[in-house]
């Protein structure tokens, strides 16, 4: 369903240590904003009755049933966006903002 890159997993583990959340799971949520764009959220949380439990890179991930379909084929990465500035990004083919690579056209 969702893949976590090794870089993202390393940062998630680091964040869990900093926030004393080592025994909690990572919750990932996605919903559509008013403009149709995907809005992502994540944080450490406990399981609820309607959650699915997944795993990637030895990270346990909680996803609600309402978010599950939006995350099929998605990847969570941790990248450098500017020198010395890193952030989590979602690469999600289901997201309307996701840029699809087009094959070169032969004229």
Q: What is the pLDDT of residues 76-97, one digit of tens each?
A: 999 998 888 999 999 999 988 8
The pLDDT tens digits for 45-57 are: 999 999 999 999 9
The answer on pLDDT for 5 being more than 90 is yes
* pLDDT at residue 100 in the model: 53
- Which residues, in sequence order, are bridge partners of residue 38? 32
55, β-bridge pairs: 60
Counting Cα atoms < 13 Å in the Cβ hemisphere of 30 gives 20
Q: Where are the domains of the chain?
A: 2-91
Tell me: the pLDDT tens digits for 11-33? 999 999 999 898 899 999 999 98
Q: What is the CA radius of gyration of the chain?
A: 15
pTM: 0.84
> Which residues, including other chains, have CB under 8 Å from residue 37's CB and lie 6 or more apart?
95, 96, 97
3-state DSSP: the chain helix, strand, coil percent, rounded to 5?
20, 45, 35
CATH superfamily of 2-91: HesB-like domain (2.60.300.12)
């Amino acid at each position: 369903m969702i893949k976590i890159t090794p870089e993202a997993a390393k940062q998630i583990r680091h964040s869990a240590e900093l926030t004393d959340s080592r025994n909690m799971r990572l919750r990932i949520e996605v919903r559509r904003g008013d403009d149709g764009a995907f809005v992502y959220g994540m944080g450490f949380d406990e399981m609820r009755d309607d959650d699915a439990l997944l795993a990637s890179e030895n990270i346990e991930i909680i996803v609600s049933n309402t978010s599950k379909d939006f995350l099929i084929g998605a990847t969570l990465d941790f990248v450098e966006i500017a020198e010395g500035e890193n952030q989590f990004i979602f690469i999600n083919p289901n997201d309307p903002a996701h840029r699809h690579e087009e094959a070169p056209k032969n004229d």
